[in-house]
Structure 1
């Protein structure tokens, strides 16, 4: 049976949130990263958080914390590269720490699609656009990913052009893609949760 891992991205600079560490920003009395962690950790064999600061705080969430192996805050793909190494599982699910409503069913749909089609990667399409920060990848993409990063490129969907990609209709999982980028969005989300 294929082994599965999850990578929660918390390594960004969060410029639109004044540089706060988004995964540790409180949302309805819990750090934002804890929501994604609670959802995805029970679904997989192994789970890690990718962070590049406040490592001691992230380590208190009970899963390994890994940093980018490449310097310079190169974005989600640098986190994915580190995650594939650290997890050492056949498949890796990547999702961001600032999407507190990620659904278990999204992961299951992506994993099934990736396995059944023997794709390198499966990615959700919400009916309007791809949601490339939520993907399931097979570990065999690691070499392609590292070469792409070494070439100086960062754009996720450009990397997809090199791979066998399976798009997954994800209109039923729109809530998963709601992310919190600003203090205004955090407050509005919190008010909705506390009603």
Structure 2
């Protein structure tokens, strides 16, 4: 079986978090730990390098022991700027991304989005809808991305479509890949889980 290529994993934590009342989503508590801690625990074993893209509280993110990079552009220009920062900092040819507010990221997430030796980008889909923050991106796409940002493009799907990505159905993992985008959703998600034990 062909081995997968080396991967840089990227946790996207750099948004303005308007739906979280302005809170830094990655530092919001989920079952006794910040959201980012859960995602690191799930993603780090699946990749060869792990980066966190964040634009606030950089020192607090650095405590988790992985490099923290920020958008290269001011004013929270959106997910495309996070992709640009990730691709610029990555040391490997392929970059696997996920948002910081997915504390139940599956332990086989990399395998799901990274078929053996990929030649194309990949984007996850839930219920038929693209979820751009769940992507596998080639570092070689960085120049084109930067050019689109320079031209004023801010729509992640439009740029991703230009890469002719493989679409990966994640519907079977919908419960684990929920993008808990506000505090109420986080509480609801936590309430669906079994009680924590000392081992967990």
TM over 0.5: yes
Q: Deviations over 1:44-70 (max 9, x none)?
A: 111011111111100000101111111
Alignment partner of 2:85 out of 67, 70, 82: 82
1:100 aligns to what? 103
- Pairing 1:51–2:54 present: yes
Across the aligned residues of Structure 1 and Structure 2, the Cα RMSD in angstroms comes to 1.6
Q: Quick one: which of 35, 39, 57 aligns to 2:42?
A: 39
Q: Which secondary structure does the structure 1 equivalent of 2:16 belong to?
A: coil
The 8 Å contact of residues 106 and 173 in structure 1, kept in 2 or not, is answered as no
Aligned twin of 2:198? none
- 8 Å Cα contact 1:49-1:63 kept in structure 2: yes
CA positional deviation for 1:74: 1.0
Shift of 1:86: 1.2
- 1: CA distance, partners of 2:112 / 2:177: 15
The Cα shift of 1:194 comes to 5.0
Alignment gaps of 5+ in structure 1: none
CA distance in 2, matches of 1:166, 1:188: 32
TM-score by length of 1: 0.92
Q: 2:66 — aligned with what?
A: 63
**SS, match of residue 137 in structure 1:** strand
Which contiguous aligned blocks of 4+ residues in structure 1 show a shift greater than 6 angstroms? none
| Cα gap change, 1:186 to 1:127, in 2 (>3 Å) | closer
Partner of 2:182: 182
Distance in structure 1 (CA, Å) of the matches to 2:175 and 2:95: 21
1:186 & 1:172 partners in 2: Cα distance? 20
| 2:26 equivalent in structure 1 | 23
TM-score, length of structure 2 as denominator length? 0.90
Q: Which runs of 5+ in 2 are unaligned?
A: 196-200
Paired with 2:66 and 2:57, the residues of 1 have a C-alpha distance of 14
Instruction: Supply the distance in 1 between the matched residues of 2:154 and 2:160 (Cα, whole angstroms).
Output: 11
Higher helix share: 1
For the 8 Å contact 1:49–1:64, the answer to whether it is kept is yes
Q: State whether structure 2 residue 152 is matched by structure 1 residue 149.
A: no
